[in-house]
């Protein structure tokens, strides 16, 4: 992987190659979780001998909660397929009534049951600072928000992860240079929170101190300003 700093990055020279994991298992909870994997590639003006450069990765989950409910599968089981998903479910979902909680519905206009969750986004150091992350999020939204009443993510600085959990992009020691980022938890959380809210994500501390939300049914002029060419 090339990690040298390019002189200038045009986000229109970046594309995402998506794949979705599924299986032919019986209609149980795991069938209603679509695991989305995306690899970001940089393709500047190049001759035919040059190859696209892998510059980042994202992962997401689309929970088909509406279909699960129609088939008699409790939403609790769908969320319980992963620790992060369960954490999100406990914050915004009423497992007993198999629906978004009253508090969530009071704060957010949710017309559909399905849920899109961005679980991870990483950009190599040489390609940061060019708004690639926000365009990647908008591209994910454009491609997978169909049928979803809500998009959410957990605001958590990756540099705060334990060293035993090597990030997916790590190909060599300190490839992501997390040790050069803000080490203070409060400061790094505030900075990341400000980043996502500047894109148009809604912070609702009544629901969660770490989750942020986009509701497709509500006009979001800030998020709409992120336009893909």
| 26-30, 83-87, 102-106, 169-173: least confident range | 169-173
**Is pLDDT above 50 for 173?**
no
Q: Per the structure block, which two tokens stand in for 198? A: 């500047």
Produce one character per residue of 109-142: b if its CB has 16 or more CB atoms within 10 Å, e if not: ebeebbbbbbbbbbbbbbbbebebbbbbbbbbbe
**Is pLDDT above 60 for 163?**
no
CB 68 within 8 A of CB 114: no
**Is pLDDT above 60 for 29?**
yes
Distance CA 221, CA 107 (A): 18
Q: Tell whether 132 is covered by a domain.
A: yes
Which alpha helices (DSSP H) does 46-101 contain, by range? 65-70, 75-79, 83-92
**Is pLDDT above 80 for 6?**
no
Stretch 8-15: mean pLDDT: 86
- Cβ atoms within 10 A of the Cβ of 18, count? 14
pLDDT at 138: 97
Tell how strand 148-154 and strand 114-123 pair up: parallel
Q: Tell whether 6 is covered by a domain.
A: no
Number of domains in the chain: 1
pLDDT at 178: 53
Residue range 116-159, pLDDT digits in tens: 999 999 999 899 889 999 999 999 999 999 999 999 999 986 55
Q: How confident is the model at residue 48 (pLDDT cuts 50, 70, 90)?
A: low
Q: Tell whether 229 is covered by a domain.
A: no
- CA nearest to 126, candidates 59, 48, 54: 54
Host domain of residue 162: 11-224
- CA nearest to 75, candidates 58, 83, 63: 63
Residue range 53-99, pLDDT digits in tens: 999 999 999 999 999 999 999 999 999 999 999 999 999 999 999 99
Q: Tell whether 209 is covered by a domain.
A: yes
In the beta sheet, which residues pair with residue 18? Answer: 38
**Is pLDDT above 90 for 45?**
no
Q: Tell whether 1 is covered by a domain.
A: no
Q: How confident is the model at residue 49 (pLDDT cuts 50, 70, 90)?
A: low
Place of tokens 């409060």: 186
Tell me if the pTM is above 0.85.
Answer: yes
Residue range 188-213, pLDDT digits in tens: 788 999 999 999 999 999 999 999 99
| 34-48, 107-121, 191-205: least confident range | 34-48
CATH code at 75? 3.40.630.30
Q: Tell whether 4 is covered by a domain.
A: no
Q: Tell whether 3 is covered by a domain.
A: no
- CA nearest to 22, candidates 7, 4, 34, 9: 34
Look at 45 and 47; give whichever has higher pLDDT.
45
pLDDT at 109: 87
Q: Tell whether 156 is covered by a domain.
A: yes
Which alpha helices (DSSP H) does the chain contain, by range? 65-70, 75-79, 83-92, 102-107, 132-144, 185-199, 221-224
């Amino acid at each position: 992987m090339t990690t040298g700093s390019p002189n200038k990055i045009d986000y229109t020279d970046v594309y995402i190659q998506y794949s979705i994991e599924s299986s032919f298992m019986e209609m149980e909870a795991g069938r209603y979780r679509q695991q989305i994997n995306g690899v970001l590639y940089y393709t500047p003006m190049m001759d035919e001998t040059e190859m696209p450069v892998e510059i980042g990765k994202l992962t997401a989950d689309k929970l088909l909660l509406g279909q699960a409910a129609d088939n008699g599968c409790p939403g609790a089981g769908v969320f319980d397929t992963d620790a992060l998903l369960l954490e999100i479910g406990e914050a915004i979902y009423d497992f007993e009534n198999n629906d978004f909680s009253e508090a969530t519905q009071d704060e957010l206009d949710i017309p559909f049951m399905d849920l899109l969750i961005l679980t991870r986004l990483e950009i190599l150091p040489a390609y940061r600072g060019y708004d690639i992350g926000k365009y990647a999020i908008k591209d994910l939204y454009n491609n997978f928000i169909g049928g979803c009443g809500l998009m959410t993510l957990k605001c958590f600085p990756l540099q705060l992860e334990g060293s035993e959990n090597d990030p997916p992009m790590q190909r060599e020691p300190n490839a992501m240079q997390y040790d050069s980022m803000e080490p203070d938890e409060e400061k790094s959380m505030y900075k990341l929170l400000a980043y996502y809210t500047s894109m148009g994500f809604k912070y609702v501390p009544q629901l969660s101190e770490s989750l942020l939300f986009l509701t497709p049914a509500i006009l979001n002029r800030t998020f709409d300003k992120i336009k893909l060419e």
